[in-house]
Structure 1
Amino acid sequence: MTTQAVHSGSGKVLQALLLALAMAAVVGTALGFEHIGGYIPCALCLEQRTPYYLGVPVMIVAAIAAALKAPSLVTRALFVAGGGLMIYGAGLGVYHSGVEWGWWEGPADCAGAAGLTTDAGSLLSDLNAKKPPACNEAALRVLGLSFAGWNVIASVVLAAACLRFAFAGRAR
Protein backbone atom coordinates (compact mmCIF):
# COMPACT_ATOMS: atom_id res chain seq x y z
CA MET A 1 0.00 0.00 0.00
CA THR A 2 1.38 3.43 -0.89
CA THR A 3 1.79 6.34 1.49
CA GLN A 4 -0.73 8.28 -0.59
CA ALA A 5 -3.33 5.52 -0.18
CA VAL A 6 -2.82 5.47 3.61
CA HIS A 7 -3.00 9.28 3.76
CA SER A 8 -6.12 9.26 1.59
CA GLY A 9 -7.87 6.78 3.92
CA SER A 10 -6.99 8.75 7.05
CA GLY A 11 -7.91 11.94 5.19
CA LYS A 12 -11.41 10.59 4.54
CA VAL A 13 -11.76 9.70 8.22
CA LEU A 14 -10.82 13.24 9.22
CA GLN A 15 -13.07 14.78 6.56
CA ALA A 16 -16.06 12.71 7.69
CA LEU A 17 -15.44 13.51 11.35
CA LEU A 18 -15.11 17.23 10.60
CA LEU A 19 -18.39 17.15 8.68
CA ALA A 20 -20.10 15.26 11.54
CA LEU A 21 -18.77 17.85 13.98
CA ALA A 22 -19.86 20.76 11.76
CA MET A 23 -23.36 19.30 11.32
CA ALA A 24 -23.62 18.71 15.07
CA ALA A 25 -22.47 22.30 15.71
CA VAL A 26 -25.16 23.71 13.41
CA VAL A 27 -28.01 21.74 14.99
CA GLY A 28 -26.48 22.29 18.43
CA THR A 29 -26.58 26.03 17.83
CA ALA A 30 -30.27 25.78 16.95
CA LEU A 31 -30.88 23.77 20.12
CA GLY A 32 -28.91 26.35 22.11
CA PHE A 33 -31.03 29.20 20.77
CA GLU A 34 -34.08 27.17 21.78
CA HIS A 35 -33.09 25.92 25.23
CA ILE A 36 -30.74 28.69 26.37
CA GLY A 37 -31.98 31.66 24.34
CA GLY A 38 -35.67 30.85 24.72
CA TYR A 39 -36.49 30.95 20.99
CA ILE A 40 -39.35 28.51 20.53
CA PRO A 41 -39.06 26.85 17.09
CA CYS A 42 -41.96 26.70 14.69
CA ALA A 43 -42.92 23.53 12.83
CA LEU A 44 -40.69 24.38 9.83
CA CYS A 45 -37.74 25.15 12.13
CA LEU A 46 -38.07 21.72 13.69
CA GLU A 47 -38.29 20.08 10.26
CA GLN A 48 -35.05 21.78 9.16
CA ARG A 49 -33.18 19.95 11.93
CA THR A 50 -33.94 16.50 10.51
CA PRO A 51 -31.21 16.52 7.82
CA TYR A 52 -28.67 17.28 10.56
CA TYR A 53 -30.02 14.60 12.88
CA LEU A 54 -29.57 12.12 10.02
CA GLY A 55 -26.39 13.65 8.60
CA VAL A 56 -24.30 13.37 11.76
CA PRO A 57 -24.64 9.57 12.01
CA VAL A 58 -24.14 9.20 8.25
CA MET A 59 -20.83 11.07 8.52
CA ILE A 60 -19.81 8.98 11.54
CA VAL A 61 -20.52 5.82 9.54
CA ALA A 62 -18.46 7.32 6.67
CA ALA A 63 -15.57 7.85 9.09
CA ILE A 64 -15.87 4.28 10.35
CA ALA A 65 -16.03 2.95 6.78
CA ALA A 66 -12.90 4.90 5.84
CA ALA A 67 -11.08 3.81 9.01
CA LEU A 68 -11.94 0.16 8.35
CA LYS A 69 -10.76 0.57 4.74
CA ALA A 70 -14.16 -0.27 3.25
CA PRO A 71 -14.32 -0.01 -0.53
CA SER A 72 -13.96 3.59 -1.65
CA LEU A 73 -17.42 3.43 -3.21
CA VAL A 74 -18.99 2.91 0.24
CA THR A 75 -17.31 5.96 1.76
CA ARG A 76 -18.04 8.07 -1.30
CA ALA A 77 -21.71 7.00 -1.26
CA LEU A 78 -21.97 8.03 2.38
CA PHE A 79 -20.47 11.45 1.57
CA VAL A 80 -22.97 11.79 -1.29
CA ALA A 81 -25.80 10.82 1.08
CA GLY A 82 -24.62 13.50 3.52
CA GLY A 83 -24.49 16.00 0.68
CA GLY A 84 -28.00 15.03 -0.39
CA LEU A 85 -29.30 15.53 3.14
CA MET A 86 -27.73 18.97 3.28
CA ILE A 87 -29.19 19.90 -0.14
CA TYR A 88 -32.60 18.82 1.18
CA GLY A 89 -31.96 20.94 4.29
CA ALA A 90 -31.08 23.92 2.12
CA GLY A 91 -34.33 23.44 0.22
CA LEU A 92 -36.27 23.40 3.49
CA GLY A 93 -34.49 26.59 4.54
CA VAL A 94 -35.29 28.32 1.24
CA TYR A 95 -38.93 27.28 1.58
CA HIS A 96 -39.10 28.55 5.17
CA SER A 97 -37.34 31.80 4.28
CA GLY A 98 -39.84 32.35 1.48
CA VAL A 99 -42.69 31.82 3.92
CA GLU A 100 -41.11 34.36 6.31
CA TRP A 101 -40.69 36.95 3.56
CA GLY A 102 -44.26 36.36 2.34
CA TRP A 103 -43.17 35.06 -1.07
CA TRP A 104 -45.45 32.02 -0.73
CA GLU A 105 -47.82 30.47 1.78
CA GLY A 106 -46.59 28.14 4.49
CA PRO A 107 -48.23 24.91 5.59
CA ALA A 108 -51.70 25.10 7.15
CA ASP A 109 -50.36 23.84 10.48
CA CYS A 110 -47.72 26.56 10.53
CA ALA A 111 -47.92 27.16 14.28
CA GLY A 112 -46.89 23.96 16.06
CA ALA A 113 -47.19 23.01 19.68
CA ALA A 114 -43.52 23.40 20.54
CA GLY A 115 -42.88 24.11 24.18
CA LEU A 116 -46.27 22.90 25.42
CA THR A 117 -46.49 20.14 27.99
CA THR A 118 -48.74 17.13 27.74
CA ASP A 119 -49.45 17.14 31.48
CA ALA A 120 -53.22 17.48 31.75
CA GLY A 121 -52.99 19.48 34.98
CA SER A 122 -50.87 22.26 33.47
CA LEU A 123 -52.03 22.09 29.87
CA LEU A 124 -54.53 24.95 30.15
CA SER A 125 -52.06 27.24 31.90
CA ASP A 126 -49.37 26.35 29.33
CA LEU A 127 -51.76 27.19 26.50
CA ASN A 128 -52.28 30.61 28.03
CA ALA A 129 -48.59 31.19 28.79
CA LYS A 130 -46.83 29.89 25.69
CA LYS A 131 -47.64 30.82 22.14
CA PRO A 132 -45.83 28.74 19.52
CA PRO A 133 -44.49 31.00 16.79
CA ALA A 134 -45.99 31.10 13.34
CA CYS A 135 -43.74 29.93 10.51
CA ASN A 136 -44.15 33.24 8.68
CA GLU A 137 -42.61 35.31 11.50
CA ALA A 138 -38.82 35.29 11.85
CA ALA A 139 -37.94 35.04 15.54
CA LEU A 140 -34.65 36.87 14.99
CA ARG A 141 -32.74 38.36 12.08
CA VAL A 142 -28.96 38.65 12.12
CA LEU A 143 -27.41 40.62 9.26
CA GLY A 144 -30.81 40.50 7.56
CA LEU A 145 -31.14 36.71 7.67
CA SER A 146 -33.43 34.65 9.86
CA PHE A 147 -32.49 31.30 11.35
CA ALA A 148 -33.90 29.70 8.19
CA GLY A 149 -31.71 31.92 6.00
CA TRP A 150 -28.60 31.04 7.99
CA ASN A 151 -29.57 27.39 7.71
CA VAL A 152 -29.54 27.73 3.91
CA ILE A 153 -25.98 29.04 4.02
CA ALA A 154 -24.80 26.34 6.45
CA SER A 155 -26.53 23.59 4.46
CA VAL A 156 -25.06 24.73 1.13
CA VAL A 157 -21.54 24.94 2.58
CA LEU A 158 -21.86 21.49 4.17
CA ALA A 159 -23.38 20.01 0.99
CA ALA A 160 -20.52 21.41 -1.08
CA ALA A 161 -17.97 19.97 1.36
CA CYS A 162 -19.66 16.55 1.37
CA LEU A 163 -19.76 16.40 -2.41
CA ARG A 164 -16.22 17.72 -2.79
CA PHE A 165 -14.93 15.07 -0.41
CA ALA A 166 -16.99 12.40 -2.19
CA PHE A 167 -15.46 13.16 -5.56
CA ALA A 168 -12.00 14.42 -4.61
CA GLY A 169 -9.28 12.40 -6.31
CA ARG A 170 -11.68 10.68 -8.75
CA ALA A 171 -9.84 12.04 -11.80
CA ARG A 172 -6.51 10.48 -10.82
Structure 2
Amino acid sequence: MSDIAHPAPVKLGIKMGTMLLLSGALAISGCKSKPPKELPPEPGAATSTDNGQYGNGVATPGSQADFVQIMQGADTIYFDTDRSDIDSADQAALAKQAQWLARYPNKRATVEGHADERGTREYNIALGERRASAARNYLVSLGVDASRLSTLSYGKERPVALGSDEQAWAQNRRAVTVTID
Protein backbone atom coordinates (compact mmCIF):
# COMPACT_ATOMS: atom_id res chain seq x y z
CA MET A 1 0.00 0.00 0.00
CA SER A 2 2.88 2.37 0.54
CA ASP A 3 3.84 2.06 -3.16
CA ILE A 4 0.40 3.34 -4.17
CA ALA A 5 0.25 6.16 -1.62
CA HIS A 6 3.27 8.09 -2.91
CA PRO A 7 3.20 8.12 -6.74
CA ALA A 8 2.20 11.79 -7.11
CA PRO A 9 5.04 13.28 -4.97
CA VAL A 10 7.66 11.22 -6.84
CA LYS A 11 6.37 12.41 -10.23
CA LEU A 12 6.25 15.97 -8.92
CA GLY A 13 9.86 15.71 -7.71
CA ILE A 14 11.03 14.43 -11.08
CA LYS A 15 9.20 17.22 -12.90
CA MET A 16 10.69 19.89 -10.57
CA GLY A 17 14.17 18.45 -10.99
CA THR A 18 13.80 18.49 -14.76
CA MET A 19 12.56 22.09 -14.71
CA LEU A 20 15.47 23.18 -12.48
CA LEU A 21 17.93 21.48 -14.81
CA LEU A 22 16.39 23.15 -17.87
CA SER A 23 16.30 26.59 -16.22
CA GLY A 24 19.96 26.22 -15.22
CA ALA A 25 20.89 25.29 -18.78
CA LEU A 26 18.99 28.30 -20.11
CA ALA A 27 20.72 30.59 -17.61
CA ILE A 28 24.13 29.33 -18.62
CA SER A 29 23.44 29.57 -22.34
CA GLY A 30 22.32 33.18 -21.86
CA CYS A 31 25.79 34.02 -20.46
CA LYS A 32 27.73 33.58 -23.67
CA SER A 33 30.74 35.82 -23.64
CA LYS A 34 31.13 38.30 -26.44
CA PRO A 35 34.57 39.14 -27.80
CA PRO A 36 35.95 42.41 -26.39
CA LYS A 37 35.89 45.48 -28.60
CA GLU A 38 39.57 46.01 -27.78
CA LEU A 39 42.03 43.28 -26.90
CA PRO A 40 43.93 43.60 -23.61
CA PRO A 41 47.63 44.46 -23.86
CA GLU A 42 50.18 41.68 -24.22
CA PRO A 43 51.65 40.45 -20.92
CA GLY A 44 54.37 42.81 -19.81
CA ALA A 45 53.11 45.66 -22.00
CA ALA A 46 52.44 49.03 -20.45
CA THR A 47 48.85 49.36 -19.34
CA SER A 48 48.76 53.11 -18.92
CA THR A 49 48.59 55.64 -21.70
CA ASP A 50 52.07 56.91 -20.75
CA ASN A 51 54.30 54.05 -21.76
CA GLY A 52 57.37 56.24 -22.09
CA GLN A 53 56.94 56.78 -25.82
CA TYR A 54 55.42 59.40 -28.02
CA GLY A 55 52.93 58.27 -30.66
CA ASN A 56 55.68 58.01 -33.30
CA GLY A 57 57.73 55.44 -31.34
CA VAL A 58 60.24 57.97 -30.01
CA ALA A 59 60.84 57.51 -26.29
CA THR A 60 59.81 60.24 -23.86
CA PRO A 61 63.02 61.90 -22.55
CA GLY A 62 63.83 60.63 -19.07
CA SER A 63 61.59 57.54 -19.29
CA GLN A 64 62.65 53.90 -18.93
CA ALA A 65 61.99 53.54 -22.67
CA ASP A 66 64.40 56.45 -23.30
CA PHE A 67 67.01 54.83 -21.06
CA VAL A 68 66.77 51.49 -22.89
CA GLN A 69 66.78 53.19 -26.30
CA ILE A 70 69.87 55.27 -25.53
CA MET A 71 71.72 52.42 -23.79
CA GLN A 72 71.37 50.12 -26.83
CA GLY A 73 72.09 47.10 -24.63
CA ALA A 74 74.38 48.90 -22.19
CA ASP A 75 71.66 48.73 -19.51
CA THR A 76 72.93 45.19 -18.87
CA ILE A 77 76.42 44.02 -17.90
CA TYR A 78 77.60 40.40 -17.89
CA PHE A 79 79.80 38.39 -15.56
CA ASP A 80 81.99 35.32 -15.68
CA THR A 81 80.98 32.19 -13.75
CA ASP A 82 80.90 32.77 -9.97
CA ARG A 83 82.30 36.29 -10.44
CA SER A 84 81.07 39.77 -9.63
CA ASP A 85 83.99 41.91 -10.76
CA ILE A 86 83.55 44.78 -13.21
CA ASP A 87 85.65 44.39 -16.38
CA SER A 88 86.46 47.03 -19.01
CA ALA A 89 83.32 46.29 -21.10
CA ASP A 90 81.21 46.65 -17.94
CA GLN A 91 82.96 49.93 -17.11
CA ALA A 92 82.05 51.37 -20.51
CA ALA A 93 78.39 50.34 -20.13
CA LEU A 94 78.20 51.72 -16.59
CA ALA A 95 79.83 55.00 -17.73
CA LYS A 96 77.07 55.35 -20.33
CA GLN A 97 74.45 54.68 -17.63
CA ALA A 98 76.07 57.27 -15.34
CA GLN A 99 75.94 59.88 -18.13
CA TRP A 100 72.22 59.25 -18.65
CA LEU A 101 71.54 59.43 -14.91
CA ALA A 102 73.52 62.71 -14.71
CA ARG A 103 71.26 64.14 -17.42
CA TYR A 104 68.17 63.23 -15.34
CA PRO A 105 69.13 63.95 -11.71
CA ASN A 106 65.62 63.28 -10.38
CA LYS A 107 65.54 59.73 -11.75
CA ARG A 108 66.32 56.80 -9.52
CA ALA A 109 67.40 53.34 -10.59
CA THR A 110 67.46 49.79 -9.33
CA VAL A 111 70.32 47.49 -10.26
CA GLU A 112 69.00 43.94 -10.52
CA GLY A 113 71.47 41.09 -10.02
CA HIS A 114 71.00 37.72 -11.72
CA ALA A 115 72.74 34.35 -11.84
CA ASP A 116 72.57 31.27 -14.03
CA GLU A 117 70.68 28.13 -13.01
CA ARG A 118 73.65 26.33 -11.47
CA GLY A 119 74.07 26.39 -7.71
CA THR A 120 71.57 26.60 -4.87
CA ARG A 121 68.91 29.26 -4.67
CA GLU A 122 70.63 30.80 -1.62
CA TYR A 123 74.03 30.90 -3.32
CA ASN A 124 72.59 32.51 -6.45
CA ILE A 125 70.65 35.14 -4.47
CA ALA A 126 73.92 36.10 -2.72
CA LEU A 127 75.82 36.10 -6.04
CA GLY A 128 73.15 38.24 -7.69
CA GLU A 129 73.39 40.69 -4.79
CA ARG A 130 77.19 40.90 -5.15
CA ARG A 131 76.79 41.58 -8.87
CA ALA A 132 74.14 44.27 -8.34
CA SER A 133 76.24 45.88 -5.58
CA ALA A 134 79.37 45.86 -7.76
CA ALA A 135 77.51 47.68 -10.55
CA ARG A 136 75.90 50.11 -8.08
CA ASN A 137 79.25 50.87 -6.42
CA TYR A 138 80.85 51.55 -9.79
CA LEU A 139 78.02 53.96 -10.70
CA VAL A 140 78.57 55.73 -7.37
CA SER A 141 82.31 55.96 -8.12
CA LEU A 142 81.34 57.73 -11.36
CA GLY A 143 79.42 60.40 -9.45
CA VAL A 144 75.87 59.01 -9.23
CA ASP A 145 74.42 59.81 -5.80
CA ALA A 146 74.17 56.55 -3.83
CA SER A 147 70.71 57.53 -2.53
CA ARG A 148 69.37 57.31 -6.11
CA LEU A 149 70.43 53.69 -6.53
CA SER A 150 69.08 50.52 -4.98
CA THR A 151 69.91 46.87 -5.56
CA LEU A 152 67.78 43.78 -5.88
CA SER A 153 68.85 40.19 -6.41
CA TYR A 154 66.76 37.68 -8.32
CA GLY A 155 69.42 34.99 -8.25
CA LYS A 156 68.45 32.36 -10.81
CA GLU A 157 64.70 33.12 -10.64
CA ARG A 158 64.42 35.32 -13.76
CA PRO A 159 66.49 33.89 -16.59
CA VAL A 160 66.44 35.66 -19.96
CA ALA A 161 67.73 32.56 -21.73
CA LEU A 162 66.36 29.10 -21.15
CA GLY A 163 68.71 26.19 -21.55
CA SER A 164 71.39 24.32 -19.71
CA ASP A 165 74.43 25.24 -21.75
CA GLU A 166 77.17 27.85 -21.62
CA GLN A 167 75.40 30.14 -24.10
CA ALA A 168 72.27 30.38 -21.91
CA TRP A 169 74.25 30.60 -18.67
CA ALA A 170 76.37 33.48 -20.04
CA GLN A 171 73.23 35.51 -20.84
CA ASN A 172 71.79 34.92 -17.37
CA ARG A 173 74.91 36.01 -15.40
CA ARG A 174 74.10 39.70 -15.45
CA ALA A 175 73.20 42.94 -13.71
CA VAL A 176 70.45 45.07 -15.26
CA THR A 177 69.83 48.72 -14.47
CA VAL A 178 66.18 49.73 -14.49
CA THR A 179 65.12 53.35 -13.99
CA ILE A 180 62.24 54.18 -11.67
CA ASP A 181 60.31 57.36 -10.97
State TM-score, norm by structure 2: 0.24
More helix by share: 1
Structure with bigger gyration radius: 2
State TM-score, norm by structure 1: 0.25
More strand by share: 2
Higher RCO (CA < 8 A, seq sep 6+): 1
